[in-house]
Chain A
């Protein structure tokens, strides 16, 4: 396996033991009392309503919640692409957002898409090519470097988007259903790669998914959101030791508990 050192090891990062939950001073992302409504005042949709969330530096937090509960909205706010109506969003460090849709530039090849992210992140020209090759290798798409996004399958596009997001060398990785379009095999492989990079590079992750097992497989903490308006319903610290497997009994048991709670939350809307 390739062993990557994509960034010079930033000293002072957390050891692989890392923090179990957000606590105290070393907070990278703090969302406090944030509300966000879309549309004009009369028929506005309240996407988020007084949401509070604190993510510690180096923490891997997974967000779960029914479709339309405001997860993408929350990531957009943290990424600074939208303004909150009320409350405050505080982020220490640079964010890199991986959109729910791949959002690649159709006029650039796979290689150039990743390279542009490096270029905009200020990586000098002579280093870029090698980095791109490493990143494409990481998502197992080296053979497709010269293709354009429309020539790839949906899952492959997501992997290019992942490479592009990693290229930004962000301190906080915001990932919106990054593996939603992948087959199980590829997904498992990328779980490993992502986890390995995270252990190596000590970035912070805010990871949105609909797959409860995936959340339990990856997260230090799983945060469950309510729907319309979105609020934090519950938080589950995940104490299962790493490396975890998505099909291990520990993961399955906890995932079942969280799924029940999620069902309850969704059912509340049926009534």
Chain B
């Protein structure tokens, strides 16, 4: 009997080993290569296309310089551009952080109360569709930021960024909570999770993947709002990407303008791919939302 039992348990372990998923892993080098070559190829194609357009003399070379001139300018301005990107990113991060706090509070309030939801639900969506640059003139007036004063400029820009990003945070959270499978909520309730305990252990984690998508979108909105605001609101003695763009146009330094554009593009892509896409993918994988056969 005891021997039977031991045998049975060994068989069972065998069955479970069979039933468990088999992990497969590609080497790091291979994965890096797979991730790098398609965008690199696309960039090369784009540069080639650009050079061809320059050859056709569609526009005079003073306003449409060749990519090589622009890359030279990029190299020359690297210091300023890094500094400008740093300032802009800091503003972005600050605005994004404030948006997360406000958006989360508003999203939770709307999710937990029908009255709040009907009261502000459509307003949040309306705010989301509003082009955030449109807030800039108002921000200048509200914070008296026209004079180039640094603190006032920061406040005005923060205001615009938060109005651009917070609605997406709130909507992402609300969406996430609305789409929790009822079975999980029931499971939580049957385990005795109520109120804040349920929020902490069931609702928030269950809503997380959609919430992260909302954050990703919110960052995109924050980035746009930020650029718009920086083009318009200046302060003396600081450099930022938006300000740099406007300065290159006014100087004029057209290769510099292209270099600034490339910087704006690169910073945007890097943040999105290196931070948000990574977090998003990690969470989805953890939750079993990615088909392992295709990723």
Contacts and interface: CB of A to CB of B under 8 A. Distances in A.
Contacts of B189: 81
A79 B9 CA distance: 33
B288 interface: yes
Interface in B200-219: 201-202, 205-206, 208
B15 A186 contact: yes
B201 to A, nearest CB: 6
A15 to B, nearest CB: 25
A131 B171 CA distance: 40
Contact of A105 (B20, B21, B187, B190): B187
A186 B8 CA distance: 9
A7 B190 CA distance: 20
Nearest to B209: A107
B197 interface: yes
Contacts of B190: 79, 81, 95-97, 99
Contacts of B13: 140, 143
Interface string A62-85: 000000000000001001010000
Given A116-B191, A148-B286, A151-B21, A140 B16 contact: yes
A120 B201 contact: yes
Contacts of B287: 106-107, 148, 150
A80 to B, nearest CB: 8
A44 interface: no
A43 interface: no
> How many A residues are at the interface, by size bracket?
35 or more
B12 interface: yes
Contacts of A104: 187
Interface stretch (A46-54, A152-160, A232-240): A152-160
B286 A120 contact: no
Most buried by A among B8, B16, B190: B190
A185 B20 CA distance: 17
Nearest to A149: B288
B7 to A, nearest CB: 10
Interface SS, B side:
helix
Interface in B177-203: 183-184, 186-187, 189-193, 197, 201-202
> How many B residues are at the interface, by size bracket?
20 to 34
B19 A155 contact: yes
Contacts of B288: 106, 148-151
Contacts of A155: 19
Interface in A89-128: 95-97, 99, 101, 103-108, 116-117, 120-121
Contacts of B16: 140-141, 143-144, 153, 156
A107 B19 contact: no
A47 B137 CA distance: 61
B31 interface: no
Given A120-B197, A155-B19, A156-B19, A105 B205 contact: yes
Most buried by A among B191, B201, B202: B191
B280 to A, nearest CB: 14
Given A120-B193, A156-B16, A107 B208 contact: yes
B72 interface: no
A189 interface: yes
B5 interface: yes
Interface string B91-106: 0000000000000000
List of 6 A-B pairs having minimum Cβ-Cβ separation, nearest first:
A150-B288, A153-B19, A103-B187, A97-B190, A120-B192, A107-B205
Given A116-B201, A185-B8, 10 more contacts: A81-B190, A107-B287, A140-B13, A141-B16, A144-B16, A148-B288, A155-B19, A185-B11, A186-B12, A186-B15
